[in-house]
Amino acid sequence: MFYAKDFIELDYKPAKDDLICLFKVKPAKGVPMEEACGAVASESSVGTWTNISTMEDSVRDMRARVFEVGKDYCKIAYPLKLFELGNMPQILSSIAGNVFGMKVVDKLRLEDFYSPPKMDRSFKGPKYGISGIRKLVKVSKRPLVGTIVKPKIGLSSKEHAKVAYDAWVGGCDIVKDDENLSNQTFNPFKRRVIEVLKMRDKAEKETGERKMYMPNITAETSEMLKRGKFVKSHGGEYIMVDVITAGWSALQTVRSAELGVIHAHRAMHAALTRDKSHGVSMLAIAKIARLIGVDQLHIGTAVGKMEGGAKEVREIDEEVEDDFIKGSNHVLNEEWSGIKPVFAVSSGGLHPGLVPALMRIMGNDVIIQMGGGIHGHPSGTRAGAAAARAAVEATMSGVPLNEWNSKELKQALNHWKVKL
């Protein structure tokens, strides 16, 4: 079977149950664009590098079809029968597997995909989603305010819990572990969970607000389950998973265990997403995570220190016009065959002065997470949390930050030299 001849059908109309992928393609030197696109369709479905005698007509009918070729992209439709429904590793081994290593392509990037309703329904999706989290936290409209305990690693369990407490009483709704803190000797997982949840209860009594803690349970899969069950048995309602380093199958196992709200950290994503001409886009990763069933997902800051500008962030979280596939936009919050929407988490280099710009981009359905932007406040963590909360409340009220009645916010604006 020859790539261009057998896997390109530009008059093909995708069936309602086809999985459709958008690839950015840069052919190897001397390779025609259609040949390169056909090779991607072949390798990711039923073909190989040469004609084979075992290719029955029934198998040939299951081939992927390139139905559109552009200057630097192609769209490929895959019959649903190629996939084991509910098995994300198998699906990705097909559409995002060997294709990246073929010699006929110099660069290849999975930009986006559309999963048909039958495939969507084979995954659990989020248990809570945006509305469930808002009900749990008892915050109906404003963005949630969160922080990461800093320094990210090195504190003892009691020190960690004290930082969390200060953040909560200052005004944070959520406190989380950093992605590289798990069960180190200086801060053992079980001891940390017990100490921090004790401080959570204390903060709730003092403030009259619900407070949430996200312990990082990331580890080998069976150990993650043990840690998640430990959190749940001690009254914790959240868990955090580094979804890419842990792996998609591990995430599916954790989701099936129903251990609480799943906060998804995207550590290592840039190894796949940062090269805009090769790898897998954050847009595609967000869709994968939502199907499997995370309730919250880091998507970038648009205005902070981490890579990922406003346009990319909006593509993931905000409803935008999308000419790829009708109905496949607004990735975290669109209607998806019963799959609940995911709460977007913006984190990385944020401080209170950036809140108005961030909310203009993201709206209210966002968790604004500040690490250094809270703990770096000149008056300490509690004042930093108060400043962050004040920035959100001022923005919700349509009042410029420098006019809001909060000494902690004024200190923050001066400290980070914010010009309004």
What amino acid positions are annotated as catalytic residues? Answer: 150, 265
Task: Give the chain as a 3 state SS string.
Answer: CCHHHHHECCCCCCCCCCEEEEEEEEECCCCCHHHHHHHHHHHCCCCCCCCCCCCCHHHHCCCCEEEEECCCEEEEEECHHHCCCCCHHHHHHHHCCHHHHCCCEEEEEEEEEECCHHHHCCCCCCCCHHHHHHHHHCCCCCCEEEEECCCCCCCCHHHHHHHHHHHHHHCCCEEECCCCCCCCCCCCHHHHHHHHHHHHHHHHHHHCCCCEEECECCCCHHHHHHHHHHHHHCCCCEEEEEHHHHCHHHHHHHHHHCCCEEEEECCCCHHHHCCCCCEECHHHHHHHHHHHCCCEEECCCCCCCCCCCHHHHHHHHCCCCCCCCCCCCCCCCCCECCECCCEEEEECCCCHHHHHHHHHHHCCCEEEEECHHHHCCCCCHHHHHHHHHHHHHHHHHCCCHHHCCCHHHHHHHHHCCCCC
